[in-house]
Amino acid sequence: MSRKKTSKSKAGSAPATSALPAANGPRPVRPGTARPCPEAPPNGPPQPGWSSIGGGGDFYDVAFKVMLVGDSGVGKTCLLVRFKDGAFLAGTFISTVGIDFRRGTGPRTLGAPPPRTGPCWSWLVVFQNKVVDVDGMKVKLQIWDTAGQERFRSVTHAYYRDAHALLLLYDVTNKASFDSIQAWLTEIQEHAQDDVVLMLLGNKVDSAQERAVKREDAEKLAKGAETALHQGPQRAPLPAARLHQEGGPGVFLLQTLSLWDPATGHPPGRLDSLQQSVPG
Ligand SMILES: Nc1nc2c(ncn2[C@@H]2O[C@H](COP(=O)(O)OP(=O)(O)OP(=O)(O)O)[C@@H](O)[C@H]2O)c(=O)[nH]1
């Protein structure tokens, strides 16, 4: 695929920005994705068990932080946008890099030097809240989109710690993005909570002709990874069979999906549930 990579912004409550790579020159910004979320608490997202009245007028019973991770270009931002707004971001690929924001004033001028004072919302992550109904319970998902580019990993790691679930994406048309999954798993093992829920997502199954990763290979990887994660030094060993049956914490399953409907060019419906993903 020949997509020109430029840059896009993701905002969130990042750690101090001084250690972060500086934005380099003017960068295009996607409307709607490059804005700080006013609900963002300075020290991370709300935890389960918080009040049933959330910020921004959302009512919920329980809240979870979900993070999207995976190589650059696999479709993390598209997934977030589809899930939140039902829209698909087609066209030029705008990659996630650091653009910073001053709290309350929105995006600063792209390419301008970073602000010298004041709190900064920034960089390589952006999150969106969405409340979904699960068995009569209002579940608030705070979904964090991270920059996939390798040079930003040390920054995005910091956000794994308090994540309840990680959606690990690869692009079925890009073998390299699948080959990287092992490295992502190692990072997850190092930086995420022991009981984090993981899901492997193979995106872009609509591009059947360009497919470079077989479903069986991904299933094999998911199965192996599930066992390895639960036998790792920091994790309690759990029999794989039990995990499959009970669907408990740490389950690592493969789902494939397409965020684009090739028949109509429109999204095939809201991704309220990843279970509705396209078989591939
Ligand atoms: N055909 C097809 N293209 C998709 C799909 N999902 C995303 N894309 C395209 O893939 C490209 C990259 O998508 P992004 O969501 O920006 O990728 P990302 O993982 O956020 O990339 P980084 O921000 O660099 O980490 C865009 O051009 C999208 O239009 C899909 O399901 N099918």
SS (H, E, C) 260-280: CCCCCCCCCCCCCCHHHCCCC
The one-letter code for the residue type at 44 is G
Q: Which residue out of 93, 124, 209 has the highest number of ligand 1 atoms within 8 Å of its CB and is therefore the one to mutate?
A: 93
Distance CA 252, CA 249 (A): 9
> For the chain, first and last CA: distance in Å?
20
Distance CA 163, CA 69 (A): 11
Residue with tokens 């964090």: 144
Q: What is the pTM of this model?
A: 0.65
Distance CA 141, CA 130 (A): 5
Enumerate the β-bridge partners of residue 130.
Answer: 141
Indicate whether residue 258 lines ligand 1 (CB < 6 A). yes
Q: Please give the DSSP secondary-structure letter assigned to residue 21.
A: P
On whether the CB atoms of residues 120 and 144 are closer than 8 A, the answer is: no
Distance CA 256, CA 172 (A): 9
Name the phi and psi angles at 238, rounded to 5.
-125, 135
Indicate whether residue 98 lines ligand 1 (CB < 6 A). no
Q: Which atom of ligand 1 is found nearest the CA of 94? A: 16
Residue nearest to atom 13 of ligand 1 (CA): 75
Task: Give the CA dihedral 115, 106, 41, 167, nearest 10 degrees.
Answer: -100
pLDDT tens across the length of the chain (280 residues): 333 344 444 444 433 332 222 223 222 333 333 333 333 333 343 343 333 333 445 688 888 888 888 998 898 878 877 776 665 555 555 555 443 333 333 333 334 444 444 433 344 566 678 888 888 888 888 888 877 667 666 767 777 888 888 888 999 999 999 999 988 888 888 888 877 888 888 888 888 889 999 988 888 888 777 666 655 544 444 333 333 333 333 445 565 655 655 454 444 333 333 333 333 3
Q: Please give the DSSP secondary-structure letter assigned to residue 184.
A: H
Indicate whether residue 149 lines ligand 1 (CB < 6 A). yes
Distance CA 273, CA 208 (A): 22
